[in-house]
Chains A and B, each alone.
Chain A
Amino acid sequence: MSADIAAADRTAKGTGQQAVLSLQGLSVEFGPVGNSVYAVNDVSFELAEGESLAIVGESGSGKSVTVQTLMGLIRKPPGRVTSGRALFRGRDLLAMPDSELRQIRGRDIAMIFQDPMSSLNPVLTIGLQLTEALREHQGLGEAEAERQALDMLALVGIANAPQRMRAFPHQFSGGQLQRIGIAMALVCKPSILIADEPTTALDVTIQAQIVELVVRLQKQLGMAIIWISHDLSLVAGFVDRVAVMYAGSIVETAPVDDLFSATRHPYTIGLLNSIPSLTDGNTRLVPIRGAPPNVTLAPTFCAFAPRCDYAEARCREAKPRLEAVGAGHAAACWRWREVKEVGRVGAAAAQRHAVAAPRQEPLLTVSELKVHFPIRRGVLRRQVGAVHAVDGVSFEVLRGETLALVGESGCGKSTTGRAVLGLERPSAGSIVFEGRDYAGATGGDLTRRRRDMQMVFQNPFGSLNPRMTVGRIIGEGLRAQKIGTRASRDIRVSELLALVGLREALRNRYPFELSGGQRQRVGIARALAANPKFIIADEPISALDVSIQAQIVNLLDDLKARLGLTYLFVGHDLSMIRYLSDRVAVMYLGRIVEIGTTQAVFGAPLHPYTRALLSAIPVPDPKAGGTRRRIVLGGTVPDPSRPPPGCHFHPRCPLATDICTRVDPQARDFGSAVTGQHLAACHHAGQATP
C-alpha cells in the first residue's frame, strides 16, 4: 500500500523532486499491550523538498502523535512505536538512538506549537531561548548566536529586537510570541518545519498574520512544511497537499484542489458539510452524526463506519486501505466510487428551517454600559487607572432574535455578556430587561433575573462541577430557584435530557465520562432548566471539534425555534456567527464599532475593522485564495488600560486620518428600509480600503 501511495505522490509532484521525508507504515500505541490506545495506525506519506503538506483531523485523530513520534517527542512508555520507518534523507529517525536524533531535532527538523503562551519557558529570556539551539547545534559563541537570533527576530517582524532579547515571554502578546516561537524554530534554518496547530490559540486577524509570515518564510528559506490543523478552511489557502486523518489513519490524501473539488471520502465530505459557507446562508449545517471514534478497539474495521451514511457490512468487518483514486489522490473507503457520485449533495438537501420573523420589540436594552476593572498601586493601594474592559456599549436584543457579539480576545465581548447576567458589576450604564433596569442589582433581584436569563459557557470541560452527576448539574438551578418539588424536578431533568438529545441513562454519570459534545449538551440543558426567555451563549462551540460544533449549533437553532428563545451569542468564529445570528455587533477594545443585520454587516461592512476581520476568515476553497483580497491588519490590540485617544482603532486602521487620532467617532446609521438599522462608529465608514 505504501508503495502505491508513494507512487501516486511522485506522479503528483513530478519527477524532479526528491522526498526529504518519507514516512512508511507508522503505527503508535499507548498504554500496556492488550489494553492499548491505537493512536496511529499504518500512516504513510512523503514530503518533497520545499513542499507544504497539511495533516487535518479532529482531536484524537492521531495527527499530533504522528509528527511528535517523528521528532522523538512522545514519551515511551506509555507510547510504543509498533511498526514503521521514517526516512529523513535516507536515515530512519525511528531506528536511531536519541543522541543521534537530537542532532537532527531543531537543526534539520524544527517544530512550532499550538499555544505560544505555554510553549515558551516563562522564566528564561527570549534571547536565551532563541540562541540556545544555535549554540547547541552550530557551536556558535554568544555574540554570533545573538547576531543570528537578531536577524531571525527581524525576519519574523519583531520590532526593537535588540531590546526585546532580554524580555521574558509574559511581556509579549500571543501573536508576537508565536512569531518568536517561529524564529526559535527557524534559527538553524531547518529543511522541514512542523507546525502543530500554530494558530489555533490566536485571534483570526493574528492568525492571518502568522499564516502569511510562515508562507513568506517558507519561500525565503526553501523549507518543507507539515502543517497540522483541525481546520480544513484554513489550510485550503496555502498548502500543496492535504492528508485527512481519522482515528489514527489517513482516510484521504490529495493535492489541495482535488481534495475540495473531487472529495472522495465520506468523512472529508462530512467535515466540509459541517463548515458553514460564507456565501450561501440558508442551508442547514449537516453535522457528522454520533461521537468521536473509540480508539481503544484494534483497527480492524473502518473506524468511521458508525458515523458514515455509506457504511455497509463490509466496512465493519475489514479496514479499507488507502487506494489511488486519482493522480496523487488516495482514499481509504470501500465505496469511494459510489461516494464520488453522490458528492456533496447532503448540504443542499436539508434547508435550515425558517424561523418566525422576530417581533420588533426589545427584550434587552443595554445603554452606555461600562465595566472598568481598577488597577491599584502603591503603599495605600490607591487606584491609579482602570482596565476599560467594556467602555460605553449600547445595543438592543429584540425578542426572538439572535444577536451576536463578535471581536477578538480582549475586546470585551465576554465581559459584556457576563455583565448582562450580573456576573460582573457594571461601572456605569443601564441594563434594561423586560422594562426593568437591572444594572447593579443584587440579591433577590439578581436571582429573579437569572430565572429568565441563563448562560451557556465556553468550556464544557471546566464549567461543569466534576463531583456532581449530570442529573444534579441540570437540576441544581431549579433547586436554587426553589421551583417545583423533588419529584417534579426529576421529571423536568428527564425532559431536559431528551430536549438536548441525551439518553436518560446519562443522568447518573459524571462529566468526565462524557464527550465534549455531550458535556456541552449538559451545559445547555442546565441553562434551560428554569425555562428562561433569554440565553447568553459565551463561545459555546469554540472548545469543540468541527464535526461536533455543527451538532451543537443545530441544537441551539432548534431550541430557539421550539422554545421561542432569544440569544445573545458571544463568539469569534465569524462563519458560524454569520450562519446562526440575525444581527451582529462587532466589538473592538471595549466598544461596538459596527452593528446591523447579519446580511448587511457581512454583505456590506462599513467599518474598516469589520472588513479586516471578515477578510481574515479562512474559506474552505483553495481557489478563493488568489481572488480574495485580504486585509492583514498590522500590530495587535492595544492595552485596554490605556486605550488610544480618539478612535480606538486608529493605530491599526488603513483609513485613519488626523481626525481619527483626536475625535472619538459617534455611531451613525447607514441603514435603509431594506437593510434595517446599520450603525457604524467611524469617521470614514464605507470608504474603500486602500
Chain B
Amino acid sequence: MLSYLLRKLLLSIPVLFGVTVIVFAIAHAMPGDAVLAMITAEAPSSEALIAMRRGELGLDQPVYIQYLNWIGQILHGNLGRSFVNGRSVGDIIVERLPMTLELMGVALLVAFVVGTTLGVISALKQYKLTDYSLTLAGFVGVSIPDFFMGLLLVYVFALELRWLPSSGISTAGEGFSLLDNLRHLILPAAALSLFRAAIFMRYARAGMLEVLNQSYMRTAKAKGLKPRTITLRHGLRNALIPLVTVFGLALPTLFGGSVVIETIFQWPGIGLMFIDSVVNRDSPVIMGYVLITAIIVMLANLATDLAYSVLDPRVSYG
C-alpha cells in the first residue's frame, strides 16, 4: 500500500510539470497582458509608461526566461505576486480556498447522499411509478446546466419567494454568523449539486440493480434476514464500489462548476478570483489557480484509489 502511494506520487511529478507548461503557454497566449488591461481600466498612458510597467513585471523578457523564472519561484514554494495588487498569489488562494471548499464540499456531500439514496430507492422499485418518476427527474437534472439552474433558483427562491439571499456569503453590514452563512450557501450549493445528484442517482440505480442480481443477495435472503438488512448490509456496500469512480470524476467538474456558480452568486472563493484574474490578465493568479486545482484533483484521484481498497477487500495495491 505504501509503495503504491509512493509510486503514484512519483508519477504525479511529470504530470504536474506538464500542467505548468500548458498553463504557462495558455496564459501567455491570451490576447493582451496585465499592463494593457490595467491601462484600459485606469487612465490612458504613454508608450514609455507601458514599457516601464512591463519591465517591472518582467513581461519584456523572452517567454522561456519568464517560464523558468516562474518555475524557479514555484520550486521555492512561491507562486509569485499578483500583477494587479502586488499581493502574494499563495496568500490570496489560502484566503479564498476555504470558501470554495465549503461550497464544493457541501455540494458534493449533498449530491452524493441524495443521489445515492434516490438511486437505491429507484432500483428497489424498478419499473414502478417511483422508479419512473425518479428516472425522469434524473433526466431533467442532467439536462439542466449549472448556470441555468443557478439563475432558476435565484429567480424562484430569492426574487419571487424572497426566502433566501441571492448572493455573497453573509449579509452586508452584519457580523459573520454561521447561520447567516449557511442561508447564503443553500442556493449556490443546490445549483452545484443538483446536476451531480442526478448523475449519482443514475449510477447508484444501475449499481444497485446489478447487485440485486448477485447470488450473494439470494444467499442473504435464504438466511431469512430482514429486507432492510439485506439491502443495507449486503447490497449497499457492494453498490457503492463503482460510485467511488463517479465521485472521483465529479471532483474536477466541480471546480469548473464552481467558477460559474461563484460568479453568479458572487461567492468570494477561488472561482470568482479566477474570473477576476482572467479579466485583468493577471497571469500569476491564473497560473496559481490552475496549478492548485490540478494538485487537488490529483490528490482526490489518489484518495479515490485508496477508497477502493477500503470499500472492497479484494482490492489491494502492492
In the complex, the chain B residue whose C-beta lies closest to that of A74 is: B218
Q: Do the beta carbons of B216 and A132 come within 8 Å of each other?
A: no
In the bound complex, CA of A184 to CA of B222 (Å):
11
In the complex, the chain A residue whose C-beta lies closest to that of B2 is: A379
Question: Is B233 close to A, CB under 8 A?
Answer: yes
Q: Do the beta carbons of B311 and A113 come within 8 Å of each other?
A: no
Question: Is A106 close to B, CB under 8 A?
Answer: yes
Q: Do the beta carbons of A379 and B237 come within 8 Å of each other?
A: no
In the bound complex, CA of A104 to CA of B224 (Å):
7
Q: Return the contact of B222 from the options A105, A114, A377, A378 (Cβ within 8 A).
A: A105
Question: Is A310 close to B, CB under 8 A?
Answer: no
Q: Do the beta carbons of B218 and A113 come within 8 Å of each other?
A: yes
Chain B 266-304 interface mask (CB, 8 Å, partner A; 1/0): 000000000000000000000000000000000000000
Question: Is A666 close to B, CB under 8 A?
Answer: no
In the bound complex, CA of A184 to CA of B10 (Å):
45
Question: Is B159 close to A, CB under 8 A?
Answer: no
Q: Return the contact of A184 from the options B214, B223, B229, B237 (Cβ within 8 A).
A: B223
Q: Return the contact of A102 from the options B7, B226, B312 (Cβ within 8 A).
A: B226
Q: Do the beta carbons of A122 and B238 come within 8 Å of each other?
A: yes
Q: Do the beta carbons of B219 and A132 come within 8 Å of each other?
A: no
Residues in A with CB closer than 8 Å to B216 are 118-122
In the complex, the chain B residue whose C-beta lies closest to that of A114 is: B215
In the complex, the chain A residue whose C-beta lies closest to that of B234 is: A121
Q: Do the beta carbons of B7 and A379 come within 8 Å of each other?
A: yes
Residues in A with CB closer than 8 Å to B10 are 379
Question: Is A71 close to B, CB under 8 A?
Answer: yes
Q: Which B208-235 residues sit within 8 Å CB-CB of chain A?
A: 214-216, 218-226, 229, 233-234
Residues in B with CB closer than 8 Å to A381 are 7
Q: Do the beta carbons of A168 and B219 come within 8 Å of each other?
A: no
Q: Do the beta carbons of B224 and A105 come within 8 Å of each other?
A: yes
Q: Do the beta carbons of A105 and B6 come within 8 Å of each other?
A: no
B13 to chain A, nearest CB (A): 13
Question: Is A286 close to B, CB under 8 A?
Answer: no
Residues in B with CB closer than 8 Å to A111 are 219, 222
In the bound complex, CA of A170 to CA of B216 (Å):
13
Residues in A with CB closer than 8 Å to B238 are 121-123
Question: Is A124 close to B, CB under 8 A?
Answer: yes
Question: Is B314 close to A, CB under 8 A?
Answer: yes
What class of interface size applies to chain B in its complex with A? 20 to 34
In the complex, the chain B residue whose C-beta lies closest to that of A108 is: B224
A507 to chain B, nearest CB (A): 34
Q: Do the beta carbons of A119 and B215 come within 8 Å of each other?
A: yes
Question: Is B313 close to A, CB under 8 A?
Answer: yes
Task: With a 10 A CB-CB cut-off, give which of A102, A115, A123, A378 has the most chain B CB atoms.
Answer: A123
Residues in A with CB closer than 8 Å to B214 are 118
Q: Which A118-135 residues sit within 8 Å CB-CB of chain B?
A: 118-124, 132-133
Residues in A with CB closer than 8 Å to B222 are 71, 73, 105-106, 110-111, 113, 185
Question: Is A107 close to B, CB under 8 A?
Answer: yes
Chain A 88-120 interface mask (CB, 8 Å, partner B; 1/0): 000000000000001111110011011100111
Q: Do the beta carbons of B218 and A119 come within 8 Å of each other?
A: yes
What class of interface size applies to chain A in its complex with B? 35 or more
Chain A 171-194 interface mask (CB, 8 Å, partner B; 1/0): 000000000010011000000000
Residues in A with CB closer than 8 Å to B223 are 105-106, 110, 132-133, 136, 184
Residues in B with CB closer than 8 Å to A104 are 224
Residues in A with CB closer than 8 Å to B40 are none
Q: Do the beta carbons of B225 and A379 come within 8 Å of each other?
A: no
Residues in B with CB closer than 8 Å to A68 are 218
Question: Is A321 close to B, CB under 8 A?
Answer: no
Question: Is A137 close to B, CB under 8 A?
Answer: yes
In the complex, the chain A residue whose C-beta lies closest to that of B213 is: A75
In the bound complex, CA of A106 to CA of B214 (Å):
18
Q: Do the beta carbons of A115 and B221 come within 8 Å of each other?
A: no
- Contact A377/B318 with A120-B216, A132-B223 known, Cβ cut-off 8 Å: yes
Chain B 220-257 interface mask (CB, 8 Å, partner A; 1/0): 11111110010001100110010000000000000000
Q: Do the beta carbons of A377 and B3 come within 8 Å of each other?
A: yes
In the complex, the chain B residue whose C-beta lies closest to that of A103 is: B224
In the complex, the chain A residue whose C-beta lies closest to that of B311 is: A123
Residues in A with CB closer than 8 Å to B225 are 102, 106, 132-133, 136
Q: Do the beta carbons of B218 and A133 come within 8 Å of each other?
A: no
Task: With a 10 A CB-CB cut-off, give which of B219, B237, B314 has the most chain A CB atoms.
Answer: B219
In the complex, the chain B residue whose C-beta lies closest to that of A187 is: B223
In the bound complex, CA of A377 to CA of B6 (Å):
12
In the complex, the chain B residue whose C-beta lies closest to that of A111 is: B222
Q: Do the beta carbons of A379 and B6 come within 8 Å of each other?
A: yes
Residues in A with CB closer than 8 Å to B218 are 68, 73, 113, 119
In the bound complex, CA of A110 to CA of B314 (Å):
27
In the complex, the chain A residue whose C-beta lies closest to that of B211 is: A121
Q: Do the beta carbons of B6 and A73 come within 8 Å of each other?
A: no
Q: Return the contact of B224 from the options A114, A133, A168, A379 (Cβ within 8 A).
A: A133
Q: Which A379-394 residues sit within 8 Å CB-CB of chain B?
A: 379, 381
Q: Do the beta carbons of A136 and B226 come within 8 Å of each other?
A: yes
Residues in B with CB closer than 8 Å to A132 are 223, 225, 229, 233
- Contact A123/B226 with A105-B221, A113-B219, A118-B215 known, Cβ cut-off 8 Å: no
B217 to chain A, nearest CB (A): 8
Q: Do the beta carbons of B215 and A168 come within 8 Å of each other?
A: no
- Contact A122/B224 with A113-B215, A377-B318, A379-B10 known, Cβ cut-off 8 Å: no
Chain A 344-386 interface mask (CB, 8 Å, partner B; 1/0): 0000000000000000000000000000000001110100000
In the bound complex, CA of A105 to CA of B226 (Å):
11
- Contact A123/B224 with A377-B318, A378-B3, A379-B7 known, Cβ cut-off 8 Å: no
In the bound complex, CA of A68 to CA of B217 (Å):
13
Q: Return the contact of A122 from the options B226, B313, B318 (Cβ within 8 A).
A: B313
Q: Do the beta carbons of A123 and B313 come within 8 Å of each other?
A: yes
Q: Do the beta carbons of B6 and A120 come within 8 Å of each other?
A: no
A212 to chain B, nearest CB (A): 23
B285 to chain A, nearest CB (A): 36
Chain A 159-172 interface mask (CB, 8 Å, partner B; 1/0): 00000000010100
Q: Do the beta carbons of B220 and A123 come within 8 Å of each other?
A: no
In the bound complex, CA of A136 to CA of B286 (Å):
59
Residues in B with CB closer than 8 Å to A378 are 3, 318
In the bound complex, CA of A72 to CA of B218 (Å):
10
In the bound complex, CA of A105 to CA of B218 (Å):
12
In the bound complex, CA of A136 to CA of B314 (Å):
27
In the bound complex, CA of A136 to CA of B228 (Å):
12
List residues of chain A with CB under 8 Å of any chain B CB. 68, 71-73, 102-107, 110-111, 113-115, 118-124, 132-133, 136-137, 168, 170, 181, 184-185, 377-379, 381
Could you list 21 A-B pairs, sorted by A, with CB under 8 Å?
Answer: A73-B218, A73-B221, A73-B222, A102-B225, A102-B226, A110-B222, A115-B215, A121-B220, A121-B237, A121-B238, A123-B241, A123-B312, A132-B223, A133-B225, A136-B223, A170-B313, A181-B219, A184-B219, A185-B222, A378-B318, A379-B7
Please provide the 9 A-B residue pairs with the shortest distance between their CB atoms, ordered closest to farther.
A106-B224, A105-B224, A106-B223, A168-B313, A133-B223, A121-B216, A119-B215, A111-B222, A170-B314
